Copies of this chain bind each other. A is one copy, B any other.
Amino acid sequence: MTGHDVAAHAGVSQSTVSLVLSGNPRARIGEATRERVLEAARELGYRPNLLARGLVQRRSFALGIVVSDLDNPFFTEVVSGAERVAAEADYGVLLGDAREIPAAEHVMRLAERQVDGVIVAGVGLDALPDETREGLNLVLVDEPSGVLPGVASDAAAAGRKAARHLLELGHTRLGFLGPASPAHTFRMRERGWVQALRQAGCTIPSAYLVRTSATVSGGQAGMRRLLSTDPRPTGVFCANDLVALGALKACAQAGVKVPGHISVVGCDDIEMARYVTPELTTILVPARGLGARAARLLLLTLDGRDTGALTGKALGVELVVRETTARRSI
């Protein structure tokens, strides 16, 4: 089923078919022939070959998205946000998960597939050597870089808001659970947290700053360490919700009441935050919004339009008070 077949069926040339079907604005086609072509196409169930189109237009109308870990709900939300706006704009979405195959490798493959751009989330710029991204439209999610365009959430604000919330509840022995990751977002969450505490005149014993992987089991292990300090912190900020979930679990296992004995606040507001008991107090980071914005940014760039509005300020984050934080009782 090619344009030729349709042309034959309609008794016109292949290029006329293309003219009609591609909706080219500067194509003046007689109403009669247009009808005939449309009819023929419908009858034959014609589906244009987008590879061929891409080849001649040097544009595939597809974009790639590579994430560091597809099983992390935060990233699946980013993907889903991006997919939504891409699909809306009739763009294809090629997916890459960087757990098995390095992000750089994915990016190169996507480039070979001639994607018009790629969104990269959860991957540091250092994992993307220059040669992998030359001649490619990249946008980074939550990894600000002077050189590449990107969209980001206000990570430092996340840390600050967590700190203020706990401070306002009267807590002063405050712990932090997070990865020793080079990821900008994690670093800034931690920095915002530390700065807000310092500003409030709160000292941070090093035992209260525990490094662990940014996963549920990491959070679980980390919280166990925190629980073994003496005196214990009465409030804990976790670098993401997965860690917080693990922390909650460790508390439950140790018979430590949340928020009775210890308050915990997460970060991201993944869907699960609402589904655990007690419900997790957390800092909402608009994952889906980040994905959507990244896609929009890419599409605007491809259209050569102004991207100022999207690239300007970071997406705001917001404290969501649920059930894992309470006024300090002791």
Partner pick for A51 among B54, B90, B245, B274, CB 8 A cutoff = B54
In the complex the two chains form, is A113's CB within 8 Å of B62's CB?
yes
In the complex the two chains form, is B272's CB within 8 Å of A47's CB?
no
Partner pick for A94 among B90, B93, B108, B272, CB 8 A cutoff = B93
In the complex the two chains form, is A80's CB within 8 Å of B71's CB?
yes
CB under 8 Å from chain B, chain A span 25-84: 45, 47-52, 54-55, 60, 62, 70-71, 73, 76-77, 79-80, 83-84
A322 within 8 Å of B (CB atoms)? no
Closest to A113 in B: B50
Instruction: Please state the number of chain copies in the assembly.
Output: 2
Q: Which one of A163-171, A202-210, A246-254, A295-303 is at the B interface?
A: A246-254
Partner pick for A47 among B106, B108, B216, B249, CB 8 A cutoff = B108
Query: What number of A residues sit within 8 Å (CB to CB) of B?
Result: 53
In the complex the two chains form, is B245's CB within 8 Å of A275's CB?
yes
Chain B residues, Cβ within 8 Å of A276: 275-277
A158 within 8 Å of B (CB atoms)? no
Closest to A87 in B: B101
A88 within 8 Å of B (CB atoms)? yes
How far in angstroms is the closest Cβ of chain B from A180?
A: 23
Partner pick for A100 among B48, B87, B113, CB 8 A cutoff = B87
Cα–Cα, bound, A249→B70 (Å)? 26
How far in angstroms is the closest Cβ of chain B from A223?
A: 13
Partner pick for A97 among B50, B84, B106, B114, CB 8 A cutoff = B84
Closest to A272 in B: B272
Q: A245-B275, A275-B246, A277-B248 are in contact. Are A97 and B80 (CB under 8 A)?
A: yes
Chain B residues, Cβ within 8 Å of A101: 87-88
In the complex the two chains form, is A114's CB within 8 Å of B275's CB?
no
A183 within 8 Å of B (CB atoms)? no
In the complex the two chains form, is A96's CB within 8 Å of B87's CB?
yes
Chain B residues, Cβ within 8 Å of A248: 277
Interface string of A249-273 (1 = CB under 8 A from B): 1001000000000000000000110
A111 within 8 Å of B (CB atoms)? yes
In the complex the two chains form, is B87's CB within 8 Å of A76's CB?
no
> Which 10 pairs, one residue from A and one from B, show the smallest C-beta to C-beta distance?
A252-B277, A70-B80, A95-B95, A51-B54, A76-B76, A245-B275, A50-B113, A50-B112, A51-B51, A93-B95
